[in-house]
Chains A and B, each alone.
Chain A
Amino acid sequence: MINTVLIAYDGSQQAERAYDFGLDMVSRYGAQVIVLSVARPPEPPVNVELQAVLESATEHYQELFAKLKAKAAACKVDPRFEVRVGHPAEQIVHFAEEWGVDVIVMGHRGGSFLQRWLLGSVAKRVLSHAHCTVVVVR
C-alpha cells in the first residue's frame, strides 16, 4: 500500500519528469505527496558565503514551488513542500525514514566525475541507503 510519496526536487529537467511521474502515481493511489528540495552548502562552507547561499537557495525554491503547486492543483493533489540543508542523498534518505515514506521518486542527473567523486551519485546513494522503494525516473 502506498500512503506517502516523497518527490526529490532540484529544479532540473530530470526532477521535473520525476515530479510529473510522482503526481501521476499519487493521483492513482490517493497518497500524500511531499516535495523535498535540498539546499547544498559549498564545500567547505565558508563564513558569510554559507548564509548567502542558503538564503539564495530558499528563494530559488520558493519560486519553483509556486509553479509546482499550480501544476499539482490541476491534478487535484495538494503537496507539502520542504527545504532542508545538506547533502542531497543523506537528506532525502533521512527525511524518508523520518516521515515513514513508502516510495521515493527522483530524477537522475549524472553529474561530472568531480562532483561524483566529491559527493557521490545522489541517486546511487539514495538507492543504497533508503529504507523504502526508490523510483529513479530517466
Chain B
Amino acid sequence: MTETWFLATLWLGLALLATLLSIWLRIATALSEIVVGTVAQLIIGAVISSSILGAHEPWIKFLAGTGAIILTFLAGAELDPDVFKVKWKEATALGIAGFVAPFLGCAALAHYVLGWDARASWLAGVALSTTSVAVVYAVMLETGLNTTTYGKVVLAGCFINDLGTVLALGLIFAPFTMRTLIFVGASVVVFAVLPYLTPRFFKKYGNRPSELETKFLLLCLFGMGALAGWADSEAVLPAYLIGMVLAGTVGKDHVLIRRLRTVTFGLLTPFYFIRAGSLVSVPALIAGYGIFLILLLGKMASKFLAVYPVTKVYKSPGKEGMYTTLLMSTGLTFGSISALFGLSHNIIDTAQYSFLIAAVVGSAVVPTLIANAFYLPRHLLHSPEEEQVSARKTAGRTFPVKEGESI
C-alpha cells in the first residue's frame, strides 16, 4: 500500500498546484489540471521515468473514470427542463446544426486532409463537435439574454449539441449486437422509471447522515456505466442522460448537488483531467503542430458556419451574434472525454490523441481570448442599431441577493 499512498500524494500535490494556478490566473480548474498533467508527465518523464506518474494504474483509472461519469451526470443535471418547453423545435434545430456541422466537417478534415483512418476521423469529429454549455450560459448571464427567447433557445441548443456528441460517442463505436439492443432497451426502461422513482425514494429514506442519495445515484451511474461498457459503448452516455432525466427533480436539490460537487472536484476530476493531460505526447505535438492548428481551425470554422446564421435568424445584433458564435466554439469537458475514449479503445494513437486534446484545449482558450480582445466590453455598450434590443436585455440582468439563494 505504501506505493499507492506515495502515488496518491503525488497526484493530489499536482491537483493542489493546478488549483492554485487556476486561482492565480483565474482560469478554469479543468484547463489548469490538463496542462499541469501534461507538464508533469514531461518533466517527471525526462528527469526520472515516464512510469512514475502511474497513469495506467487501475485505481487511478477508476478514480478518473468515476470523475468523468459524475461530472457528466452533473452537467446533464444542470439542464433546465422548462427551457425545453419553450421553443424546443428551434433549440433542437440549433443543437443538431451545432453538432452535425463540426462533426462531419472535422471528420472529413481528419480523413481527407490529414489522412486519418475512418474510425479515428469519426472520433475526431465527435471530440470537436461539442459546445460548452457553461461558456454559453456565462455569456447569456453577462448579456442578460438568459431570460429571453433567444437565450433560452441557444442554451437548450447547447444541451442538444452535447447530447449529440455523447450519443455519437456511445453508439458510433459500439458494434451493433444483441448487447447493444439489451443496453438500449434497459436504458429506455431506466430513464423512464428514474424520474418517477428517485424523488419518491429520496423523500422516504433521504436526508440522513448515511448519504443514501449519493449511494443510490452512484449505483445507477455505475450500473448503467457497466452495462454500457459491456455493450462496448461509453459510460458517460447513460450518465449524461440520467443527469438530464433527473434534472427537474434531483438537479434542483442544491444541497445534494453541492455534496456531489465537493467529492467530484475535491478528489475525482483532478485524477481525470491530470490523467488526460499526462497522456499527451508533447514531442508529437511539437512535431505536428500544423495538424493541431488544422483541427482547431476546422472546429471554429464549422461551428461558425452552423451557429452564426442561427444568431442572425433570431436577430441578434452583429457583435453579440459573433460573440455567441465564438464562445459556442469552445468545449473542454466532452472534447477531452471523447479523445480519452478514443485512446483507451485504440481508436486513435497517442499522437492523434495529443492533437485532439491540444485542439480541444485550444478551442477553449482561443475563442475566449478573441472574444475578450475584440468584443469586450464594447459588445455591451449601446449603439443605435442595438437600441431595439436593449429593452429585452434589461429583464433579469441583476441577481437578487437573498439568504440562501443562488444565481
Contact = CB atoms under 8 A, between A and B. Distances in A.
Interface string A15-44: 000000000000000000000000111111
Given A47-B71, A85-B141, A54 B407 contact: yes
Contacts of A40: 26
A112 B368 CA distance: 19
Contacts of B265: 49, 52
* Interface size bracket, B side: 35 or more
B186 interface: no
A41 B398 CA distance: 15
Contacts of A118: 25-27, 369, 372
A86 B379 CA distance: 13
Contacts of B258: 52, 55
Interface string B137-152: 1100110000000000
B29 interface: yes
Interface residues of A, number: 43
Contact of A44 (B332, B398, B399): B332
A84 B218 CA distance: 35
A73 interface: no
A133 B200 CA distance: 57
A5 B98 CA distance: 43
Contacts of A74: none
Contacts of A1: none
Nearest to B403: A62
B398 A84 contact: yes
Interface stretch (B55-63, B128-136, B300-308): B128-136
B138 A45 contact: yes
A48 B74 contact: yes
A45 B261 CA distance: 16
Interface in B1-51: 22, 24-31
Nearest to B162: A47
A98 B25 contact: no
Contacts of B398: 82-84
A47 B333 contact: yes
A9 interface: no
B89 to A, nearest CB: 25
B82 interface: no
Interface string A101-120: 00000000000101100110
A66 B78 CA distance: 30
B12 to A, nearest CB: 18
A127 B258 CA distance: 39
Interface string A65-103: 100000000000000011111110111011001100000
A58 B29 CA distance: 19
A54 B368 contact: no
Contact of B261 (A43, A48, A83, A119): A48
B28 A42 contact: yes
Contacts of A42: 22, 26-29
A87 B399 contact: no
B381 A46 contact: no
A1 B50 CA distance: 68
A94 B132 contact: no
A135 interface: no
Given A41-B138, A45-B138, A50-B138, A87 B31 contact: no
A112 B21 CA distance: 13
A17 B96 CA distance: 51
B382 interface: yes
A98 B394 contact: yes
A51 interface: yes
Contacts of A82: 398-399, 401
Contacts of B352: none
Contacts of A81: 401
B397 interface: yes
A52 B135 CA distance: 14
B109 to A, nearest CB: 23
A93 B25 contact: no
A45 B137 contact: yes
B126 interface: no
Contact of A50 (B25, B134, B365, B367): B134
Contacts of B29: 42, 46, 49
Given A58-B406, A114-B25, 4 more contacts: A40-B26, A46-B332, A49-B28, A83-B399
Interface of B: 22, 24-31, 71, 74-75, 78, 132-135, 137-138, 141-142, 254, 258, 261, 264-265, 327, 330, 332-333, 364-365, 367-369, 372, 376-382, 394, 397-399, 401-403, 405-407
Nearest 5 pairs of A and B residues by beta carbon: A90-B377, A86-B142, A85-B141, A45-B134, A50-B134
19 contacts: A41-B134, A41-B138, A43-B28, A43-B372, A44-B368, A46-B134, A47-B78, A47-B132, A48-B78, A49-B28, A50-B134, A51-B134, A83-B398, A85-B399, A90-B376, A98-B397, A114-B24, A118-B25, A119-B372
